[in-house]
Amino acid sequence: MSQIEIKVPTVGESITEVTIGSWVKKDGESVKRDEVICSLDSDKASFEVVSEADGVLRIKAQEGDVLPIGGLICIIEASAAAPAPAPTPAPVAAAPAPAAPAASAPVAAKVVEMKVPTVGESVTEVTIANWNKKDGDVVQLDEVLCELESDKATFELPAEAAGTLRIVAEAGATLPIGATICRIEVGGGVSQSAAPAPVPVETPAAAPVASASGYASGHPSPAAAKILSEKGVNAADVQGSGVGGRITKEDAEKAQVAAPAAATPAPAPKAAPAAPAAPKAADPRGQRRVKMTSLRKTIARRLVAVKNETAMLTTFNEVDMKPVMELRAKYKDKFKEKHGVGLGFMSFFTKACAIALQEFPVVNSFIDGEEVVYNDYSDISIAVSTDRGLVVPVVRNAEKMTFAEIEKEIIRLAGLARDNKLTIDQMQGGTFTITNGGIFGSMLSTPIINAPQSAILGMHNIVERPVVVNGEIVVRPIMYVALSYDHRTIDGRDSVSFLVRVKQILEDPTRLLLEV
């Protein structure tokens, strides 16, 4: 009796252990080659384990057990499967046996595996945002199959061949670089159309029955099982639309609407569990669990890292915005007529910071190991809020750009950000960051440094406040500004002097024109 050990596979560079999610088959059951027997959950994604041979399953790890990479999951007693098909009716069974491999052989020989491509040096995993095609659909070469979302940008995945799509990872799944997303069966439709000609009518009738009631029928995927568990829905009550009747994530999400509908027409007087269901429906309070996107997880990880790895400090000042507002009011129409863009506050702040960075280069530097790297150029990152989260596209060489060039570049990058079309190159390499919380009504804040940069300027809302000018109390539009900086490289004198210099330039905009 030969035994095949199935162990925990390598599922990612940073993954060292997995948890047995759920067993699809039971101990002692007969399994077929490539049949799903259980699911594994890691800290990044869920994976399905398939049988490596026909035989009898012997489970060695139970649901909930945590195993290291290479740990023993189960054993397949391969010899048990061999005698099983032998005693079946000899003449009748022999006919369909060669027919099945004949139909599947050309398909298996022409399967194209689509894997997660390398999308950037620092990107190690992606999330499947959504599928444009469904499992079993016929796709054409270069047709967009799905969208992949990394922690920095969104990418489209085109088909590498024409054929029938077989989805491996569902929408919402997080996969490492190189993992299989789907398979394309090239010429799969041709082999099916050729099969009915020589084979009797009985064979095509049996095929759909086998697919509809296959081993996966009624079994949820790992993602679907989690959703059904949270909703308290029994998998047996859900109709699966996946391959072989498997319950997909979409089926589980729809089950929330189907569950109360099924409970209402059910025999009301006899159903004891219907009584506790009533108070739950009457309770107006609710709770939802939404999986974090790759971008949100990366933002969270980086912000915590900055707080832990830098000596961050924030200094504040206030800016009288009246001179800038008067200059904008005077020339905004002519500016827009000539350049085709409006004259906004962001160009004033970007230009002022670019000039101040040239005078205080330590604010424009960053730490690399035991060295401090000084940048002689000002690539300023502008924080843009999108539906996916906060992104920071970079305005390159801002110190050499005019007001009109800065405005046009900011508008272009902001549009790409909101359309999820920013590339990784457009968000890398900034030397200093500006964030404007004032557009949301923020009066004062302490922005967090955008690593590996050493400083970030926070803008806030403009509020009319009483101030003393030349010994008189007057009302002026005042904005509080904040500079968060890494005290490891930037001393208090440099940080305060930098912010004062920005204040001087903004309160006397003619300095921008004269460069003084």
The answer to whether position 133 is within a domain reads no
Average pLDDT over residues 314-321: 96
63-67, 190-194, 316-320: least confident range: 190-194
Average pLDDT over residues 92-100: 43
Average pLDDT over residues 115-143: 82
Query: Which has the higher per-residue pLDDT, 374 or 190?
Result: 374
Name which of 236, 216, 235 is nearest 38 in CA terms.
Answer: 216
The answer to whether position 68 is within a domain reads yes
User: Rounded distance, CA 82 to CA 4, Å?
Assistant: 14
Query: Which has the higher per-residue pLDDT, 312 or 16?
Result: 312
Query: Which has the higher per-residue pLDDT, 338 or 172?
Result: 338
pLDDT given for residue 107 in this prediction: 41
The answer to whether position 288 is within a domain reads no
Do 352 and 268 belong together in one domain? Answer: no
Asked if the model's pLDDT at residue 286 lies above 60, the reply is: yes
The answer to whether position 97 is within a domain reads no
pLDDT, tens only, 392-421: 999 999 999 998 999 999 999 988 888 888
Do 364 and 242 belong together in one domain? Answer: no
Query: Which has the higher per-residue pLDDT, 132 or 258?
Result: 132
List 27, 34, 237, 491, catalytic entry: 491
The one-character DSSP state at 244 is G
pTM of the complete model: 0.52
Mean pLDDT of the chain: 80
The answer to whether position 161 is within a domain reads no
Known catalytic residue: 419? no
Q: Among 47, 65, 87, which residue terminates a domain?
A: 87
Do 361 and 455 belong together in one domain? Answer: yes
pLDDT-derived band at 87 (thresholds 50, 70, 90) equals: very low
Q: Among 69, 87, 105, which residue terminates a domain?
A: 87
Do 426 and 504 belong together in one domain? Answer: yes
Q: Among 53, 87, 121, which residue terminates a domain?
A: 87
Average pLDDT over residues 79-95: 43
The answer to whether position 215 is within a domain reads no
Do 230 and 302 belong together in one domain? Answer: no
Asked if the model's pLDDT at residue 500 lies above 70, the reply is: yes
The answer to whether position 143 is within a domain reads no
Do 421 and 498 belong together in one domain? Answer: yes
Name which of 207, 178, 210, 509 is nearest 335 in CA terms.
Answer: 509
38-52, 203-217, 247-261, 416-430: least confident range: 203-217
**Three-state helix/strand/coil letters over 204-216:** HHHHHHHHHCCCC
Known catalytic residue: 339? no
Do 504 and 439 belong together in one domain? Answer: yes
Average pLDDT over residues 445-470: 94
Do 380 and 247 belong together in one domain? Answer: no
Element (H, E) at 487: none
- Burial code (b: 16+ CB inside 10 Å, e: under 16) for 292-317 equals ebbbebbbeeeeeebeeebebebbee
pLDDT given for residue 171 in this prediction: 84
Percentage of the chain exceeding pLDDT 90: 31
Asked if the model's pLDDT at residue 194 lies above 80, the reply is: no
pLDDT given for residue 514 in this prediction: 65
Do 272 and 363 belong together in one domain? Answer: no
Average pLDDT over residues 90-101: 43
Average pLDDT over residues 77-97: 47
Do 271 and 317 belong together in one domain? Answer: no
pLDDT-derived band at 193 (thresholds 50, 70, 90) equals: very low
The one-character DSSP state at 236 is G
Q: Cis omega (within 30 of 0) on the bond before 68?
A: no
Could you tell me whether strands 154-158 and 125-131 are parallel, antiparallel, or unpaired per DSSP bridges? unpaired
Q: What is the CATH number of the domain that holds 422?
A: 3.30.559.10
The number of folded domains in the chain is 3
List 27, 34, 43, 487, catalytic entry: 487
- Identify whether the C-beta of residue 99 lies closer than 8 Å to the C-beta of residue 207: no
Do 423 and 454 belong together in one domain? Answer: yes
pLDDT given for residue 307 in this prediction: 85
pLDDT, tens only, 438-449: 989 999 999 999
pLDDT given for residue 256 in this prediction: 58
Query: Which has the higher per-residue pLDDT, 142 or 276?
Result: 142
Asked if the model's pLDDT at residue 496 lies above 60, the reply is: yes
Do 461 and 493 belong together in one domain? Answer: yes
pLDDT given for residue 192 in this prediction: 42
Q: What is the CATH number of the domain that holds 42?
A: 2.40.50.100
Percentage of the chain exceeding pLDDT 70: 77
Asked if the model's pLDDT at residue 217 lies above 50, the reply is: yes
160-169, 240-249, 339-348: least confident range: 240-249
The answer to whether position 155 is within a domain reads no
**Three-state helix/strand/coil letters over 91-125:** HHHHCHHHHHHHHHHHHHCCEEEEECCCCCCCCCE
Name which of 97, 100, 79, 77 is nearest 88 in CA terms.
Answer: 97
Domain span at residue 308?
295-514
